[in-house]
Structure 1
Amino acid sequence: MNSVELKSRTKQFSLRVIRLVRALPADKVADVIGKQLLRSGTSVGANYRSACRAKSQADFINKIHIAEEETDESIFWMELLIEGKIVEDGLLHDLMKEASELLAIFSASAITARKNK
């Protein structure tokens, strides 16, 4: 997968997170978790784009790790939505699968970048 495709994929992930947060129930717990998910989920694409503009290999590694961390955090918030019985598991299955795939891509990119350093 090239960087253009991954930029598009991470942007689509962010847009899906936005739609999910908008659809959450209007209660205090969903609001707090939703805000956290919105922050981490939308930063995935932003941090990947930042990594693509890295000024050095070390800068790339640092920024791709941030994208990795934000993706993992997004998975955590989605798990809380499911385990807290705020959203049904089936409704988040595809989005969590995409987050897991993005996480694997970022992890592999970081490993490769460290080896090539």
Structure 2
Amino acid sequence: MIKRQRQYVLNILRMIEELPKGYSCGVIGRQLTRCSTSVGANYRAACRAKSSADFINKLKIVEEEADECLYFMDLLTELKGTDQPLLKELIKEGDEILAMVVASVKTASANRNIKNQKSEIKNLI
């Protein structure tokens, strides 16, 4: 997953470099740069989490940033001069990464809840 996210971020950065020069694309490009690099950085931090709660919290940040990337790429689809095939491919990849992160958050939360449940079996000794 780390390699896939890294490639995703690099592809977004390359796409941003090719955006038409203009105020709107510049603003969206900077925002997309911030949130896409945050996806990778926070996922990496989640892999080094100190506890399951820390892991879940960091993954939730990844989820928010990945969703934000999709938002800005969606805006780019409405602007003229953007590379639509590449953008569509990046949006598809972003959707898949977001789905994996959401599934990971659900799994980690469920596993954490199982560990936190007290046993109903009484010690008979």
TM-score by length of 1: 0.91
Between Structure 1 and Structure 2, whose CA radius of gyration is higher? 2
Q: Which residue of 2 aligns with 1:49?
A: 44
Q: CA deviation at 1:11?
A: 0.6
Give the Cα–Cα distance (whole angstroms) in 2 for the partners of residues 84 and 100 of structure 1: 20
Contact 1:17/1:42 (CA < 8 Å) preserved in 2? Answer: no
Superposition CA RMSD, Å:
1.0
Gaps of 5+ in 1: 1-5
Listed as ranges, the gaps of 5+ residues in structure 2 are 113-125
Residue 28 of structure 1 and its aligned partner are, at CA, apart by 0.5
Please name the residue that 1:3 is paired with: none
% same residue: 50
Task: Give the distance between the partners of 1:106 and 1:86, measured in 2 at CA.
Answer: 31
Aligned equivalent of 2:8, options 10, 13, 19: 13
In the superposition, relative to structure 1, how do residues 25 and 79 fare at CA in structure 2: closer, same or farther (>3 Å)? same
Superposed counterparts of 1:1-117, under 5 Å = 6-117=1-112
The 8 Å contact of residues 64 and 106 in structure 1, kept in 2 or not, is answered as yes
Alpha-carbon separation, structure 2, partners of 1:34 and 1:91: 15
Secondary structure of residue in 1 paired with 2:20: coil
SS at match of 1:69: helix
- Determine which structure has the larger helix proportion and give its number: 1
Provide the secondary structure at the position in 1 that maps to 2:29: helix
**Offset of 1:88 from its aligned partner?**
4.5
Query: Could you tell me the TM-score, scaled by structure 2's length?
Result: 0.86
